Amino acid sequence: MKLRCAVLVTIIALLAVVVWSWTARNRFVASADRLLLLVPDNVSLSDPRVTVWLDAGSEEGLHVVPIRDSEFVRPFFGEPKCAGLILPDSIHQQASDYLIAAIRRAVRAGGKLMLVYDAATLSPEGRYARGGSRLSDLAGVEYAFYDRLQDKAIRWGNVSSSFEVVRQLNIPPGKYYPFQSQGVGGGASTSAPANAHFDVELRRYLYGDLEYPSFVTGDNYSGNVLFHSIAGVVAGQHDYGMGAVLFVNLPLGYLKANTDGLLLHVFLKYFAEHILSLPYLMAVPGGVGGMVLNWHVDSNAAIFPLRKMSSWSLMQQGPYSIHITAGPDAMTPGDHDGFDADRSPISQQFIRRHDARGDAIGSHGGWIHDYFAAHADKDNPKSLEKYLTLNNSALERITGKPVHEYSAPHGNQPKWVTTWLEAHGFLAYYFTGNTGMAPTQGYRDGVREGQNLWAFPILHLNQAAAFEEMAQNGYSSSEIEQWLKAVADFTAEQHSVRLIYFHPPGVLRYQDVVAKWMEQTARLQAEDRFQWYTMTRLATFLNSRKQVKWTASGHAGRITIEASHPRSLEDQTWWLPAARFSQPVITRGSARVSRDNQAWMVIAGSGTELQFESETVSQ
C-alpha cells in the first residue's frame, strides 16, 4: 500500500513537472509579437525603472512583457519563445556570465536583441570587465572601457544622425535640425532623397544645444550606424549569427523617467517596426494622424489679435484647444490687465463662440498669469490652489461644462499641480518636457505622474516653439512655413499627433504663413489623412485604448489577432506591415481594412469583440 502511494505521488509530481514545463515553454508562444524585457530576479516588476518600459510599450501599441532572468536561462525548460529581447539600462547593470551566454545563444540562433547602454557592464559582484563590456561582440563594437578610461569611459556630446535615419525613427521635424535637406534652415524642400547623408542634430526647447551621455566606443563597428557623437557609436544595428542586435548607447530608461522619453519610444518602435516587422495598435482614432493647436490666452493683450484672427482661414478648420487665464489681472494682483472672463462681455462672447464651435476651452494656469507662473514652484501649494479653482470656476460658469485641459503659464508646472489636476478630473495638459513626443503618460524624477492624465509635449523648431520666440530667434517666415508644412506631413504620414502652441499676439504677424499652412491641412483632411484634435478628445480616446485587450497568435504561417473592449472597439486600429502579412480577413466582429503605403490598417467598427487573420508572407 505504501509503495503504491509512493508511486502515485511520484506520478503526480512528474505530471505536475510536465504541466509546469509545458506552461513555462509555451506561455510565450500564444503571443507571437511579445517583446521580453529581461528583469533581474531581485527587482520588483513595479519598480519605475521597469514600468517605464512597460508603459512605453503600451503607448506604442506593443506587448512588452517582463521576464525574470532565472526564467529565461532555465536550461531544462528551454528559452521562452518571443519576437525579441530587450536588455534595458539602469536595472540591469549587473549580469551573470550564464545570462549573457543564454542571450548570446538565443541571438546567434536567430533571435533579435535590443541592447541598451549600461546593461550587463558589471559582474554579479559589481566588477567591470577588463578590456570592455562582455557584450561588445553582441553590440558590434568595443565599449565600457572602465579599466583604461575610468571616469572618462562615458562622454557627453551632441547626438547626430542623417536625414534618412531620423525619418525612419519617426522623429518629428524641428526636434532634429536642420529639418530640411537644402536651402533655408537646411533646406527648402521637405521631399529630400532617402539617401541624403548630411548631419542633423537632436535639439531642445529654448536652449537648442542637447547633449547625451554615451560610452566611448572603439573605432571598428560591424554594423549600420544610426546615431553618433564624440563618444563614437550612439546607436546602430548589425547581424549576429542568424539574428540581429540593435545597440543603443544611451540611458533610455533613465531619460524617460526624467522627462525625456522621446528616444526610448522611437528606438522601441524602430526595433518593433523595422527589425521585427510586428503589428501594433495605433494611438490615433481610425489611424488618422493630426495635430493639436493649443492657443494660450494670457491677458487682455490677446483681445485685439483674437478679433483680427476671427476672419482668418484658421477659423474654417479645427477644433482647437484654447486655454485661458480668466482673472481680471495679468502680471500682478490689481493691475487690471487680465482677460477678466467674469466681467468682460467681449471675453465672454469669445469663450462662448469658440465653445459653440467645438473648440475645447481649457485653463491656462491660475487666475493671474505671470504671478501664478512666478510662484507656482516657490510658494506653499495650499496658498496657490485657490487660483486654479478661481480660473476653472470662471470658465465653467461661462460654458456650463467641466474643464478638462490645462496649460502652465511660462511652462512652470511643479508636480503638485499635476496631482491637483488629476484629483479635479482633468484629462490632459500641455508640457514643456518630453519635447517632440506624442501624448504620453509621463514620469518625473523617476516616478509615474497620474493614471488617466495625459501630457501633451510641445513640438519646437530648433529652440523656439511659440511664434514670438521664432521671431526673436531670427527664423524667417519661409522657414516657419516650411516647418509647419513638414510637421503636418509628418503627422499624416506617421499616423501620429503632435502639439504646437501659440499666443495670439505672437501669431498676428504670420497671417500669410498660417493661411498657407491651412491650405495644406485642408488638402490633407480632404484626403482623410489628417485631423485637428483637441486634447480632451485624444486623451479620452487614449484612456479607452488602455482598456483594449488583444493578442497576436501565430500558427502554420498564419497570424490571428483577437481583441476585446468592455464598451466598444470603435476606431481602434491595428497596423500590419504589408511586406510580412497578406491582406487581413475579418473573421469575427466589425472592421474595415485599408492599405496605407507599406502597411495594412484594420479599423474596428462598433462592437466589443474583433478577430482577424492574415497569412505570413515573409519572416
- CATH value at residue 575: 2.60.40
Indicate the residue among 512, 541, 570 that finishes a domain: 541
Cα(497)–Cα(487) distance, rounded to whole angstroms? Answer: 10
Cα(387)–Cα(412) distance, rounded to whole angstroms? Answer: 15
Residues 389 and 301 in one domain: yes
Residues 510 and 563 in one domain: no
Cα(402)–Cα(392) distance, rounded to whole angstroms? Answer: 8
3-state secondary structure 440-479: ECCEECCEECCCCCEEEEECCECCECCHHHHHHCCCCHHH
> What cell was used for 488?
503636418
Q: Examine residue 173 and state whether it is found in any structural domain, yes or no.
A: no
pLDDT at 601: 98
Residues 323 and 468 in one domain: yes
Residues 144 and 274 in one domain: yes
- CATH value at residue 48: 3.40.50.880
Are 347 and 306 in contact by the 8 Å Cβ rule? The answer is no
Cα(419)–Cα(71) distance, rounded to whole angstroms? Answer: 38
Nearest of 560, 605, 609 to residue 585 by alpha carbon: 560
Are 62 and 279 in contact by the 8 Å Cβ rule? The answer is no
Residues 302 and 354 in one domain: yes
Cα(383)–Cα(25) distance, rounded to whole angstroms? Answer: 57
Q: Examine residue 310 and state whether it is found in any structural domain, yes or no.
A: yes
Q: Examine residue 2 and state whether it is found in any structural domain, yes or no.
A: no
The beta strands (E) that lie in 471-542 are given as 497-502, 531-532
pLDDT at 194: 39
Residues 311 and 331 in one domain: yes
Nearest of 446, 370, 462, 355 to residue 408 by alpha carbon: 370
Q: Examine residue 366 and state whether it is found in any structural domain, yes or no.
A: yes
Domain that residue 581 falls in: 547-615
Residues 373 and 489 in one domain: yes
Residues 509 and 581 in one domain: no
Q: Examine residue 222 and state whether it is found in any structural domain, yes or no.
A: yes
Indicate the residue among 255, 279, 303 that finishes a domain: 279
Structural domain count of the chain: 3
> Which segments in the chain show pLDDT lower than 50?
7-30, 182-196
Q: Examine residue 176 and state whether it is found in any structural domain, yes or no.
A: no
Q: Examine residue 378 and state whether it is found in any structural domain, yes or no.
A: yes
Segments in 68-145 forming alpha helices (H): 69-73, 97-108, 136-139
Alpha carbon 455 to chain centroid distance? 10
Maximum Cα–Cα distance across the chain: 98
Residues 81 and 230 in one domain: yes
- Percentages of the chain per state (helix, strand, coil), in multiples of 5: 35, 25, 40
Residues 556 and 576 in one domain: yes
Residues 247 and 341 in one domain: no
Indicate the residue among 500, 521, 541 that finishes a domain: 541
Residues 291 and 353 in one domain: yes
Q: Examine residue 479 and state whether it is found in any structural domain, yes or no.
A: yes
